[in-house]
Structure 1
């Protein structure tokens, strides 16, 4: 009975002690967490772009952004679009975590099961005492199943020339460099018509858009320029990829022509059936070529004998222009290798100056004075890797300057901690701390030439 009484008296004290110690024990045992989420129901369609969200959670806050690796999956295309990471905060078991999320774009090229590689992602985060801690996470086993409908692709014969079709409702538009007159473009023989075709694929990267089908009627030469691909274009109706094709038609003889419609193939995400979008056909009327001037019957003093009015001055100007063009082409062929080497050397020097420690330090100080926390963090990370071979937090700790460590921690806390991203950041303390320890590269002194020649040459 006495033992039960003692236990009843001690139990509340033990419970209070456990409740007081529990948050500290939870923070001490907290470790980084990784989550992988596939943003589509499985099985996915072949050719369908699927987003894979990878979220990394670290206790307290990050001191360096995680380096998300490139993922290689046989039979599929996996890319990491150049989009800014999404920051967040979350409380798990009484511990505040900072989160960073990036989204991979996954597109299966064939039926089957695809397993993401178990890649390891390393980073630095702040411990309970604010000191930097090295952390790492390994992507869990994630399987994506593709199929249920098979691949739909274009083919030019046999298995060669097959191309995967995007699973997205494509839209195609066109513009002409000549305005139509009552639905007809009017040109002269020798003129050219430029047809710009723009294809947009929602929720799909531009590299997945198949080249459009375009043809030219008999008597018209067509030239196709290299396509321009862009993702997240400013003038696009929403997130997705844009492909721009430029077609040039040259009309050599008078007549009436019809340029066929330009079509692009895709697969309907709802019905899973092949579909086509097209830009409308273009009607063109070509008149006779323009003449430099008219001549009276019987010729004139400016015409060559035996010709029906072709001025000799025109022939002389044409011959001179042809000779000048020949000389320019010959000089260009001879000087092009040297110019290419000079451009390469100039580009290498500019790249070396841009990647030097002094340039990166200057970029860091400029971002600090401008109050741009994101640019300052990126530039500071590049400078410490170049000049000291380590991270900003580790370098600040090795220097032993409390003000520098506090400024670096304040920057990382502003970016990855619970502070709202919209809050202003004062970069002057970090700029002043960097000025105390950053050293400019020593300048080489030029040896002065002797004023007099040697006495005994």
Structure 2
């Protein structure tokens, strides 16, 4: 009888004693290389199902770069000891800047999950002690690392391509004096963030001016060959004199993940032939029809060209001076405009509208994220706690239904219906009250 009673009570006791669990897994063999991007999977397991998404914190490790890419969390379920757990996993990107041992900070992650009775429970986990070893004296481990005083090179086989805004003619780009050639260089690093790609090396031959625009960085680009980072550099060459020029190859440095030795990828050189300017007029023997009377050789075109060039130079100088004065003001205006847009996007009304839109569209994941942001902004708590404090059974049921759909043991195959939650929110959501300006005083008082 005692054995039967213990067997009957064991699942209930296991569920009652179940607590959240956290796991940390390093996705590479150690020691890792300096400059090598390594994924660190952090998985949080909670009994039953989550009522709010865990807030994964930023991790700061001296001597290393740790980021949390903006990727959607991975949900899962797992049974341990007869207890069903819901899991949420996020992956940090870790890159060592020097040799040594790196220890992840013992950060605490808080969240809300459903207890055995379905009521909200506040949970938290603390990251366990996790050490990552980098370098360990391998060949080339500090060839480009921070300990050697040079720029950190990505440990990935980089590919580099280039495009020109002028099509070559039999391998040669043909221009006229005063023309510009735009060279767009694209560098892709597999399994590496774009911020880790070193700027490419580019030079201009004598007599050619080169201008480099700010690089454009993107991760998980649509046209990329796979997961990784993309860096786009735009180089503009201005040719002032006729002649034949060779633009050197553009190179980018990296480190071979197999041999640990420095390597280089390059975009090929470009040959350019520059003819005389289109506005230059040639003098005919004995003078031209466009020459000034009595001069016998000075054409109108040359004077007009020189005057236009002088006017353009003065206008450019004036615009440059005006731009130097206006640029700080424009920067402040853009910053204030961005702050206003960010404030509107992060306001309670905007987050409520996003929640209602996701509910009507039937997007459960987007509705859960938007609802969590709105309740934190408007009420300073989680959706489940707010619904319980309101005391509306329909609202609590709609919130619990959303969480069960996302994190329940057997998610239904049918689409999620967000109309009940949208209707429940409409009953209790209130727009933020508008602040009234104090009434301006009437005429000032008369002298006493």
Corresponding residue number in structure 2 for 1:350: 341
The CA deviation at 1:343 is 4.4
Offset at residue 359 of structure 1 (A) = 2.0
Superposed CA deviations along residues 261-285 of structure 1, whole A, max 9, x for unmatched, are: 1111111111112211111111111
- When structure 1 is superposed on structure 2, of 144-153 and 323-332 the one drifting more is 323-332
Relative distance call for 1:338 and 1:203 in structure 2 (3 A) is closer
- Residue 385 of structure 1: how far off its partner (Å): 1.4
2:110 to 95, 117, 122: 122
Q: Which moved more, 1:143-152 or 1:248-257?
A: 143-152
Please tell me whether the aligned partners of residues 364 and 379 of structure 1 are also in contact (alpha carbons under 8 angstroms). yes
Deviation at 1:450, TM superposition (A): 14
Structure 2 distance, partners of 1:252, 1:154, is 43
The 3 A distance-change label for structure 1 pair 184 and 421 is farther
Aligned-pair CA distance for 1:347: 3.7
Q: What is the correspondence of 1:19-418 to structure 2 with a 5 Å cutoff?
A: 19-150=7-138, 152=140, 162-291=150-279, 339-418=330-409
Equivalent-residue separation in structure 1 for 2:79 and 2:145 (angstroms) = 58
Give the conservation status (yes or no) of the 8 Å contact 1:223–1:248. yes
Distance 2:444 2:17 in 1: 77
Q: Check the 8 A contact 1:170/1:266 in 2, yes or no.
A: yes
Give the number of equivalent residue pairs. Answer: 444
Cα offsets for 1:130-181 (capped at 9, x unmatched): 1110101111111111114448489999988611211111111111111111
Are the aligned partners of 2:280 and 2:301 in contact in 1 as well (CA < 8 Å)? no
Distance 1:193 1:99, change over 3 A: same
Deviation at 1:349, TM superposition (A): 3.5
Residue aligned with 2:301, SS: helix
How far does the alpha carbon of each residue in 1:209-257 deviate from its partner, in whole angstroms, 9 at most, with x for none?
Answer: 1111111111111111111111111111111111111111111111111
1:414 CA displacement: 1.5
Counterparts of 2:443 and 2:141, CA distance in 1: 81
Aligned mates of 1:64, 1:156 — CA distance in 2: 43
TM-aligned CA deviation for residue 307 of structure 1: 6.8
Provide closer, same or farther for how the CA distance between residues 344 and 244 of structure 1 changes in structure 2, counting only shifts above 3 A: closer
Deviation at 1:429, TM superposition (A): 0.5
> 2:30 touches 2:132 (CA, 8 Å); kept in 1?
yes
**Separation in structure 2 between the aligned mates of residue 128 and residue 376 of structure 1, nearest angstrom:** 24
290-299 vs 421-430, which moves further: 290-299
Q: State the distance in 1 between where 2:95 and 2:132 align.
A: 10
| Post-superposition offset of 1:189 | 1.2
In structure 2, the CA distance between the partners of 1:170 and 1:404, relative to structure 1 (3 Å rule), is same
CA deviation after TM superposition for structure 1 residue 436, in Å:
1.2
Shift of 1:313: 8.4
Question: Structure 1, residues 36-65: CA drift from partner, whole Å, max 9, x if none?
Answer: 111111111111111111100000000111
**How far, CA to CA, are the matches of 1:310 and 1:406 in structure 2?**
91
CA 1:14–1:246: 2 relative to 1, 3 Å: same
Residue 420 of structure 2 aligns to a residue in which SS?
helix
- Quick one: distance in 1 between partners of 2:28 and 2:356? 44
Q: Is the 8 A contact 2:145 2:152 kept in 1?
A: no
Distance 1:348 1:49, change over 3 A: closer
The change in CA–CA distance for 1:77 and 1:441 in structure 2 (over 3 A counts) is closer
Note the C-alpha offset of 1:129.
Answer: 0.9
Instruction: Quickly say closer, same or farther: Cα 1:431–1:320, change in 2 above 3 A.
Output: farther
Contact kept? 1:87, 1:100, Cα under 8 Å: yes
Do the aligned partners of residues 136 and 453 (structure 1) sit closer, same or farther apart at CA in structure 2, a change above 3 Å counting? Answer: closer
| TM-aligned CA distance change 1:113 to 1:346, over 3 Å | closer
Say which one has the larger Rg. 1
* Secondary structure in structure 2 of the residue aligned to 1:212: coil
Q: Quote how far apart the aligned CAs of 1:361 are.
A: 1.5
TM-score, normalised with respect to structure 2 = 0.88
